[in-house]
Amino acid sequence: MAVSEQDTDERLLLAMSGGDMEAMTAFYRRHETRLYRYLLSKLNDSFAAADLLNEVMLEVWRSAARFAGRSKVTTWMFGIAHNKVLSFWRKQGQREFTELDDNLPDDAPGADLEQALSAVKDAEVLRACMQALSPPHREVLHLVFFEELDYAEISSILKVPEGTVKSRVYHAKILLKKQLTNAMRSP
Amino acid sequence: MKDFDEQLNLWASGRLPEAERRALEQKMEEDPALAREAAFVKALKCSMQSEPTTGPGEFGLARLQKSLREEQEEAPVVLPRKSFWKPVAIAASVIVAVQAAMLIGPAPWENGSAVDMRPASGEAIVEGPRLQIAFAPTATMSDIQTAVLSVNGSIVAGPSALGVFRLALSGEASTEAAVQTLRDYDFVDEVIAP
């Protein structure tokens, strides 16, 4: 298949299901960066993220024929990535972070919105504060603010109820504000 | 604030429907805390999106292609499906089953069995003497019919590769007389009595 920029993800998957390596290459180039960023947001480890990027792309290749079109290709792809990370953590003997403190109190003692607002504009500070969050909190913030996905899509990727996504995003922001405030206060 | 959380996220990425956007911005004007929260969310989104991150790029692609090649090489060779043996196997199974039934079941020819075995032609085998007869190459079907009926016989086999027929005579018939009758025909080449 002659691959062009205009080919939809669905068309690429269709070609990949027939063993078209050119389509796989195009798919990789189109989604590599965003997928890598997503994995990095969860793993906080560039080497592990690169390894899992390879695994996710391999899985996309193997499963291309099974894509049913019930969701966007990217949602399906992020779902694969999410599962790969969970498997990775299991192999590493790490807990999966699925049981989160999604019932944190709504206020954030110690958070100062003005200070947080100043700090969030500093990319370096933001990066450091994001790294201090738990992987699931980093993950939802990434999906909402970088990928700009709806809560319904995130719910589909993470396989948790939409209400859990809503609550997790809310608490992730509170915790981030607290981190940012602390970063501004510390010398 | 929690009630507006999702709306604020959508607003920050410019995906809130127009009417909802106007309503939310109206609320922001009335509620400074909501306005500050909106400013925070927007700044968070801008900072996250401007964060430069470089993936493995072409190295990652080369690695992926290598993995794909290895996977294809490791994949077990699936022989083309040979389905021709299936009908053969089914037929063989049926034959075995029928034979087994015949061997295990009651012998049909024993003691007035209900099974009435007869030739596939539906006719009873003619008892009596047999003759072999060869007709001249010019003999017609009508000639052959005349000869056979003249001795009240029946063709029970033939013609063979040499054109020889086997005739069965009725039990009461005289073989010698039949042989003589048949030999009298011009179109009969040979008659052999047993």
pLDDT in tens, B177-192: 888 889 889 888 888 8
**C-beta neighbour count of B7 within 10 angstroms:** 18
Would the CB atoms of A166 and B63 count as touching at under 8 Å? no
Per-residue pLDDT of chain B (194 residues; tens, 9 = 90+): 666 888 899 999 888 899 999 999 999 999 998 999 999 999 999 998 887 778 888 888 999 999 888 888 876 655 555 566 777 888 888 888 888 877 776 555 555 544 455 556 555 556 678 888 888 888 888 888 889 888 888 888 888 777 888 888 877 778 888 888 898 898 888 888 87
Over range A132-153, report the average pLDDT.
91
Which one, of A32, A69, A67, A74, lies nearest residue A53 by Cα? A32
Class for the domain spanning A9-92: mainly alpha
Q: Establish if B106 belongs to a structural domain.
A: no
What is the radius of gyration, based on Cα positions, of chain A? 18
Is B129 in a helix, a strand, or coil? coil
Q: Establish if B70 belongs to a structural domain.
A: no
Q: Establish if B125 belongs to a structural domain.
A: no
- Going from N- to C-terminal start, the domains of chain A cover 9-92, 113-185
Q: Establish if B95 belongs to a structural domain.
A: no
Apex A16 CA angle, A10 and A22, nearest 5? 105
User: Using a CB-CB distance cutoff of 8 angstroms, which residues of chain B are in contact with residue A121?
Assistant: 43, 46-47
Burial of B106 (0-12, 13-18, 19+ CB in 10 A): exposed
User: Using a CB-CB distance cutoff of 8 angstroms, which residues of chain B are in contact with residue A35?
Assistant: 55
> Can you give the pLDDT at residue A142?
92
How do B188-192 and B130-135 pair as beta strands? antiparallel
Would the CB atoms of A126 and B48 count as touching at under 8 Å? yes
Query: Is some CB atom of chain B closer than 8 A to the CB atom of A21?
Result: yes
- Pick from B13, B53, B59, B67 the residue to mutate for testing the A interface (most A CBs within 10 Å): B53
CATH of domain A113-185: 1.10.10.10
Would the CB atoms of B5 and A169 count as touching at under 8 Å? yes
- The span from the CA of B119 to the CA of B115, in Å, is 13
- Which amino acid is present at A106? D
* HEC-encoded secondary structure of A34-57: HHHHHHHHHHCCHHHHHHHHHHHH
Give the domain range for residue B45.
2-50
* Percent helix, strand and coil across chain A, each to the nearest 5: 70, 0, 30
Query: Is some CB atom of chain A closer than 8 A to the CB atom of B51?
Result: yes
Q: Establish if B171 belongs to a structural domain.
A: yes
Query: Is some CB atom of chain A closer than 8 A to the CB atom of B133?
Result: no
- The span from the CA of A60 to the CA of A100, in Å, is 29
> Can you give the pLDDT at residue A161?
94
Query: Is some CB atom of chain B closer than 8 A to the CB atom of A127?
Result: yes
Closest CB to A166 among B5, B12, B36: B5
Contact residues, B window 59-98, toward A, CB-based 8 Å cutoff: 60-61, 63-65, 67-68, 71
Which one, of A162, A34, A12, lies nearest residue B48 by Cα? A34
Q: Establish if B33 belongs to a structural domain.
A: yes
Apex B159 CA angle, B155 and B161, nearest 5? 160
Among B32, B50, B68, where does a domain finish? B50
What number of helices (H) and strands (E) belong to chain A? 9, 0
Q: Establish if B77 belongs to a structural domain.
A: no
Q: Establish if B118 belongs to a structural domain.
A: no
Query: Is some CB atom of chain A closer than 8 A to the CB atom of B32?
Result: no
Domains held by chain B: number: 2
Which one, of A6, A73, A66, A4, lies nearest residue A34 by Cα? A73
Closest CB to A127 among B41, B45, B51: B51
Query: Residues A65-99: pLDDT tens digits?
Result: 988 888 899 999 999 999 999 999 888 876 655 54
Q: For position B188, which CATH number holds?
A: 3.30.70.80
